[in-house]
Amino acid sequence: MRIGLLTGGGDCPGLDAAIRAVVRVGEDSGDEIIGFRHGWRGVVDGEAWPLTTQETKGILQQGGTILGTARYHPDEHEGDVDKVRAAIDRSRIDVLVVIGGDGTLGSAHQLALSGIPVVGIPKTIDNDVPGTNRCIGFDTAATIATEAVDRLHTTGESHDRLMVVEVMGRTTGWLAVSAGIAGGADAICMPEEPTDLGRLAKAIRRRHDRGSSSSVVVVAEGAVFDGHPGPGPQHSAGAVVADELKECTGYETRLTVLGHVQRGGTPTATDRLLATRLGVAAVHTAHAHTFDTMVASLDERIEAVSLAGVAVGPRPVPTNLLDVARQLTVR
Ligand code: F6P
């Protein structure tokens, strides 16, 4: 088979591990792998080159993507789906293996509906692609964010400060909840559940009245608030929380915005393993001609699921995990 391979949307650690697995297993089975540069853009613009095992040596532990990536969706631009089809015909691609988050995989589904054979692989540090329990990149980002929370505890305690840390997650709070629980944060603000900042300030005061000298509050960048419009264009959710809590408690407060640090650098062993398993499964799924699918991590299994079920919007943090967070933090 001639397998086209692309990475779309925001980068994350573990993409190269998935690319390496697709190339090795594909090449071993007699496939030719064609890499497209910068996601769907490279397909439309014809930016492609053959990928070999030799060329993908030593990339397992790398961050980012050797293919480059872009936030561009051909189904949102008139005529671009036809351009993708023409490019695929031109390069005699039998199947496109698409590594992406919900946006990129949503486009993959639209292209599949128009007759283009695709198999998806889920990745995003947000971990919110429906149909899979885990996405490539999430474990590494959660580990980085947890370490940041650990570090903020010690500096916060030394200065008796209120430490607010903003983590990524525009529409879901997977990173905030996971790093918050794993790092022992005192409060977590997330998109799944509006935070009443006045009430949170009182709860933090009570904590300090009972003997704590500092608190760490984890805020998802997409956190929502009761009775507060949220951040304006110049603000972030973390800044809203830091300003309001400082105002209401009078405590000395510091804000840390982790930003793209969470997306960079070497993937954890868990992400390398997941990316490798998904890459291998994607090649087998392509060989089986099971198109319009995404290989998903479900409990201990990797399975191909329909892409139609993926293009339904982001997967929120489930109630059982929110419950754990509620029991260990103040609100
Ligand atoms: O999609 C992953 C993500 O890291 C989100 O958590 C974040 O909101 C967004 O990408 C940032 O996008 P960009 O790198 O384009 O600024």
Mean predicted confidence (pLDDT) in 172-184:
98
CA 159 to ligand 1 centroid distance, Å: 32
Q: Which residues line ligand 1 (CB under 6 A)?
A: 9-10, 71, 101, 124-126, 168-170, 221, 263
Rounded distance, CA 109 to CA 137, Å? 22
Residue nearest to atom 13 of ligand 1 (CA): 10
* Closest-lying ligand 1 atom to the alpha carbon of residue 168: 6
Instruction: Calculate mean pLDDT across residues 11-31.
Output: 98
pLDDT of residue 27: 98
* pLDDT score of 181 more than 90: yes
> What is the band of 4 on the pLDDT scale with cuts at 50, 70, 90?
very high
2, containing H or E segment? strand 2-7
Rounded CA separation 220/141 (Å): 13
Average confidence (pLDDT) over 184-199: 97
Rounded to 5°, the CA angle 32-38-43 comes to 55
> Which atom from ligand 1 is nearest to the alpha carbon of 175?
6
Q: Which atom of ligand 1 is nearest to the CA of 126?
A: 6
pLDDT above 90 (res 86):
yes
pLDDT band for position 120 (cuts 50, 70, 90): very high
CA-closest candidate to residue 328, choices 143, 177, 168, 162: 177
- Residues of the chain with pLDDT > 90: what percent? 96
**Which of 73, 168, 221, 315, when mutated, tests ligand 1's pocket best, judged by the most ligand atoms within 8 Å of its CB?**
168
Q: Using the atom order of ligand 1, give the atom closest to the CA of residue 9.
A: 1
pLDDT score for 295: 98
pLDDT band, residue 111 (cuts 50/70/90): very high
Instruction: Using the mean position of ligand 1's atoms as its centre, give its distance from the Cα of residue 177 in Å.
Output: 17
- The residue-averaged pLDDT of 35-64 equals 96
For residue 292, what pLDDT is reported? 98
Structure tokens at 284: 């087998």
What spacing in Å lies between the alpha carbon of 168 and ligand 1's midpoint? 7
Per the rule left: phi > 0, alpha: psi between -120 and 50, beta: everything else, 110 is alpha
pLDDT tens-place string over residues 263-320: 999 999 999 999 999 999 999 999 999 999 999 999 889 999 999 999 898 999 999 9
The reported pLDDT for the residue numbered 228 is 84
pLDDT over 70, % of the chain: 100
Report the pLDDT averaged over residues 93-110: 96
Q: How far is CA 69 from CA 23, 36, 41, 91, 123, in A?
A: 18, 9, 9, 20, 12
User: What residues form DSSP beta bridges with 303?
Assistant: 296
Catalytic residue chosen out of the listed positions 31, 102, 126, 292: 126
> Which of 329, 325, 268, 277 has its CA nearest to residue 304?
277
Residue 243 annotated as catalytic: no
Phi first, then psi, for residue 246 (nearest 5°) are -65, -45
**Residue 233: its pLDDT value, please?**
80
- pLDDT averaged over the chain? 97
**Which ligand 1 atom lies nearest to the CA of residue 221?**
8
C-alpha distances out from residue 94 to 2, 74, 119, 283, Å: 5, 19, 11, 12
> How many alpha carbons fall within 13 Å on the CB side of residue 220?
29
DSSP codes of every residue in 58-127: T-TT--S-TT------GGGSTTHHHHHHHHHHHTT-SEEEEEE-HHHHHHHHHHHHTT--EEEEEB-TT-
Which of 99, 126, 144, 172 to mutate for ligand 1's pocket (most ligand atoms within 8 Å of CB)? Answer: 126
Q: Please report which confidence band the pLDDT of residue 3 belongs to, taking 50, 70 and 90 as the band edges.
A: very high
What pLDDT shows up at residue 227? 86
Q: How far is the CA of 329 from the centre of ligand 1 (A)?
A: 26
Residue 234 has pLDDT above 80, yes or no: no
- Minimum CA distance residue for ligand 1 atom 11: 10
In angstroms, what is the span from residue 118 Cα to ligand 1's centroid? Answer: 24
pLDDT of residue 293: 98
**Amino acid sitting at position 306:** S
21-30: pLDDT as tens digits: 999 999 999 9
**Per-residue confidence (pLDDT) for residue 232, from 0 to 100:** 84
User: Does residue 163 have a pLDDT over 80?
Assistant: yes
Q: How far apart are CA 128 and CA 29, in angstroms?
A: 32
pLDDT at 182 over 80: yes
pLDDT of residue 52: 98
Please tell me the distance between residue 286's alpha carbon and the centre of ligand 1 in angstroms.
29
More confidently predicted of 308 and 230: 308
Query: Which amino acid is residue 260, in one-letter code?
Result: H
